[in-house]
Amino acid sequence: MTKPFRISLIFLLVTTSGCASLDSSPKTENLAKFSSAYIVPLEYGPFGIDPTFKYVIPVIPIPGLPATQIAGGLNVVSVVTQLPDALKRSEAIARALEQDMSAKSPWQPTLKLADDAADILKSKGIPVIVAAKPLKLSSYSNQAINAWYNNDRATTDFTGLSSAHSPYVLEILQGSSVSNGSLMLELRMKLIDPTTGKVIGRRRDYEQADLPAAELVFKDNGQIYKDVFLENGHKLIQKSLDYLGLIMKE
């Protein structure tokens, strides 16, 4: 019973910092003046690899985990001692996998989800433009991500948007992590009134999906991983657009 708790503790030690604001849906009157959409994907950070993830990359030397094992109860000191080497190993794996997934063409997951959102909105008769350049955060730490998400005003000036139709701004950020056997995908959306710069709605949601063995899921430039990512990303996009009142329930 100690192993799952050990893994959970490592995950919390690595990722927990600050809190995200609660979801909020826009008022109907705030949406009434908009007839088109301007979608802004945020530049994506590296996807996370659980420190216990087992994947062999022969071309990159990866530090091994310490031999010390936890047995007969939770040894917090041992967990913290293992953390640096475990993180180095997971970071090396993440870098190698990202390079492999972009070997044939750049893998841009947030842009894929932004394009998916655009396709859904267009299918509802809503004109859409996707920003040519992604929005960059100062970093991809939890603090920076939550600071962006919690900010009640846009961090970019959108007052210069010009269109035959009055647009709303939809900012999209995704984060993903891989452990042995599963993908955890997070999607955050912020709905902004460009004329005032005020955030009029926000949504944060998750999907978890099973993955096959690591040696299979990242074969052929990670095709299985990409398929699972996009399938579950599509679910999150639809649920979030619905929550924000941007599409009607089907």
Task: Pick 18-50+96-243's CATH classification: 3.10.20, 3.40.50, 3.30.720, 3.20.20.
Answer: 3.40.50
Q: For residues 84 and 229, give the distance between their C-alpha atoms in angstroms, rounded to a whole number.
A: 28
pLDDT for 71 beyond 90: no
Could you tell me what percent of the chain has a pLDDT over 90? 47
pLDDT of residue 164: 65
Domain edges within the chain? 18-50+96-243
Q: For residues 207 and 236, give the distance between their C-alpha atoms in angstroms, rounded to a whole number.
A: 7
Once rounded to an integer, what is the mean pLDDT over residues 7-28?
58
SS3 assignment, position 237: helix
Torsion sign over Cα 235, 239, 245, 250: positive
Query: In this predicted model, what pLDDT tens digit does every residue of 128-183 receive, in sequence order?
Result: 999 988 999 988 888 899 999 999 999 899 988 866 678 999 999 999 999 888 99
Torsion sign over Cα 155, 108, 8, 188: positive
SS3 assignment, position 42: strand
